[in-house]
Structure 1
Amino acid sequence: MTQELHSGAPGAPVPRTVPPSPVQPGGSRDPYRLYRRLREEFPLTYDPLLRAWLLSRYADVAAALTDARFGHGHRPGDPPCATGHQDVDGSELRAVAERTAHVLARRLAGRSQVDLVAEFCHWLPAGTVAAAVGVPYRDMMRLVRGRAASALAGQCTAQIAVREKALATFLAHVLADPDRAAALREAPDEVVDRAWTEALRRDPPVQITMRRTLAEVPVGGGVLPAGVPVALLIGAAGRDPERFREPETYDHLRDDPGQLTYGSGPCPGVLLAGLEARYALRALFDAMPRLRRAEGFRPEHTGLITRGPRNLLVRPGG
């Protein structure tokens, strides 16, 4: 064990300073400052509030997400998706996402001000799933709120709340800079997709995910014991300067991309999330070419385990 381990863990030495906790009072207001301190000073530490070990560096978190020595967890796009999902028609998913996004965007076009979180991002992920599985939209919303969506669309595709937050964060980044919005308005799909990936890196919708070690695992700060809970700080890993150039900056043309919200394997949930982001942007700018953020508005990101903007006020007519 190393000096980074917190005294709350049995047998661990007492550190010279007390590590911060992601769940400490006020921690969710600015978690990234807390994450920075954990990465730099306590890359492996025990958090008595979470009752789990914390990993915050990109290399450790990325490895733990796919290492067989960590159990009790699954991301959309991880290897089990290759055999755990039925085959899906990618072209049909594209058509569904595009059609749903355009219907929703056109409904907002004549308004003087719109909250895109409540009136667009909240509805698009559920709407695409409803259309994809052939369920009337009104019934799908009831089933989603009743946590029965996974029975219809599969575990990964049914992660609607995560896709809502991810989409809202992506749109917030695009609209934060008029020059960026103008560039992405006419950008090819691959550039829009890169901008989507960058939003997942800098402000992931899932900030913390839990795993449990099945054996001892060496990590950057020492060795994790077998059989212990581990909190993987995805929000911290996405801004690790050891992995990313200028990690605090949102760069939709980043040449060192990477995100840990989703795995890299085939998964209809991952495909659908990316298509929703792409066609959301296309539909909004098509219906509202002068779309911009409302004057004086700055989105407030909230949440601890999952995180996204509370509101996104925009002027459809510019």
Structure 2
Amino acid sequence: MPGGGGADVRGAGGSGGGNGVPRVLLRGAVPDPYPFYRTLRERSPLAYEPVLGVWLVSRYDDVSLALTDPRFTQGHRPGDPDCAAHPVLPERGLGEVVERTAYVLARRIAGRGRADLVEEFCRWLPAGALATAVGGACRDGRDLSRLVRRRAETAPAGPCASRTAVRETALAAFLANVLGEPGLGALLREHPALIPRAWAESLRRDPPVQVVLRRTSAEVEVTGGTLPPGARVACLIGAAGRDPARFRDPDRFDLARTDPGQLTFGTGSCPAVLLAGLEAEHGVRALLTAMPALRWADGFRPVPAGLVVRAPRTLLVSPGGRRGS
């Protein structure tokens, strides 16, 4: 193994499947990947997966390095430095578009006895707001998807903003936390200035993208060994976000964190990063305003699904009555 420090991932706590592929990388095989991540961080921070030919890095410092160091190539996240070439969207006007879209969707849901926020809110808000921002209208989801693909890359949004899937997934995970953490929804309703902090904490603890691939262009030292040039590297964002060496009590949703250190998005002024934050803020405000008694439907609890992209596929709620508009 390069540097003599990397461990075969099949030796990490017996987590390999029958064909040698770690279960965490098999779609749908692990309902909860976090125990596996913990094992990797503690025992094999640099682990090799021979079937896929990929190195796994799981500690926060190493994942952050792989996502930002120029010795790692062939990757892109919204907010990365190369996003500087994207057109800049007007934040004030864009915020108004997102807010208006969110309230329209929330008021439609408020009059129902039961609704699925994933199908009826999370999948509409990112694309609907973007479609409005680039100057179009749509009649249904298919029209909306075609409109976004056709217009967004050449209109003032750019390619990152046109890819709405990550924002949809991130919004679903965020709403699951808002409704699932005791007292959090009421707190955000009374103190909406805390919503951006809650959004960042959700991205840290429950990132919508759990694994990002990179490739080295030179030797790179990481915890546990040295990666050779040309190595394929799987950056386990889900593991990094719960690294106890970086975060106190990392499994807990904690609004008091002053440096959440989310790795889903980069730090640049990419339109997709701006849109995601606006959708989270205005989406939660619209839902809690239109439905102050919003709660899970009877007998329902959200279950995150997916291993590369992870979030609840369904969020069944009881709107609990409409607040007058």
Is 1:141 matched with 2:145? yes
Residue 163 of structure 2, aligned match among 139, 159, 163: 159
Matches of 1:187 and 1:199 in 2, distance apart?
17
Partner of 1:12: none
Aligned ranges for residues 48-197 of structure 1 at < 5 Å? 48-82=50-84, 84-138=85-139, 139-143=143-147, 149-152=152-155, 153-189=157-193, 191-197=194-200
Q: 1:27 to 1:148 in 2, by over 3 A?
A: farther
Is 1:44 matched with 2:46? yes
Q: 1:209 to 1:148 in 2, by over 3 A?
A: farther
Tell me, which stretches of 5 or more residues in structure 1 are unaligned? 9-14
Partner of 1:260: 263
Of residues 178-187 and 198-207 in structure 1, the stretch that sits farther from structure 2 once superposed is 178-187
Partner of 2:319: 316
**Partner of 1:137: helix, strand, or coil?**
coil
How many Å apart are 1:277 and its aligned residue? 0.4
Matches of 1:315 and 1:253 in 2, distance apart?
29
Residue 278 of structure 2, aligned match among 275, 278, 289: 275
| Contact residue 37 and residue 58 of structure 2 kept, 8 A | yes
TM-score by length of 1: 0.91
| Contact residue 12 and residue 39 of structure 2 kept, 8 A | no
Matches of 1:180 and 1:248 in 2, distance apart?
16
How many Å apart are 1:254 and its aligned residue? 2.2
Residue identity matched to 2:176: A
How many Å apart are 1:74 and its aligned residue? 1.0
Residue 297 of structure 2, aligned match among 291, 294, 297: 294
Residue identity matched to 1:301: P
Matches of 1:16 and 1:248 in 2, distance apart?
21
TM-score by length of 2: 0.89
Residue identity matched to 1:187: H
**Partner of 2:198: helix, strand, or coil?**
helix
**Partner of 2:7: helix, strand, or coil?**
coil
How many Å apart are 1:4 and its aligned residue? 3.0
Aligned residues: CA RMSD: 2.0
Percent identity of the aligned residues?
Answer: 57
Matches of 1:16 and 1:121 in 2, distance apart?
36
| Contact residue 295 and residue 317 of structure 2 kept, 8 A | yes
| Contact residue 12 and residue 44 of structure 2 kept, 8 A | no
Of residues 287-296 and 235-244 in structure 1, the stretch that sits farther from structure 2 once superposed is 287-296
Residue identity matched to 2:278: L
| Contact residue 88 and residue 270 of structure 2 kept, 8 A | no
Matches of 2:87 and 2:27 in 1, distance apart?
43
Q: 1:151 to 1:300 in 2, by over 3 A?
A: farther
Matches of 2:272 and 2:313 in 1, distance apart?
23
**Partner of 2:233: helix, strand, or coil?**
strand
Residue identity matched to 1:4: G
Matches of 1:16 and 1:137 in 2, distance apart?
50
Matches of 1:273 and 1:176 in 2, distance apart?
21
Tell me, which stretches of 5 or more residues in structure 2 are unaligned? 17-21
Query: Number of residue pairs matched?
Result: 309
Matches of 1:17 and 1:112 in 2, distance apart?
46
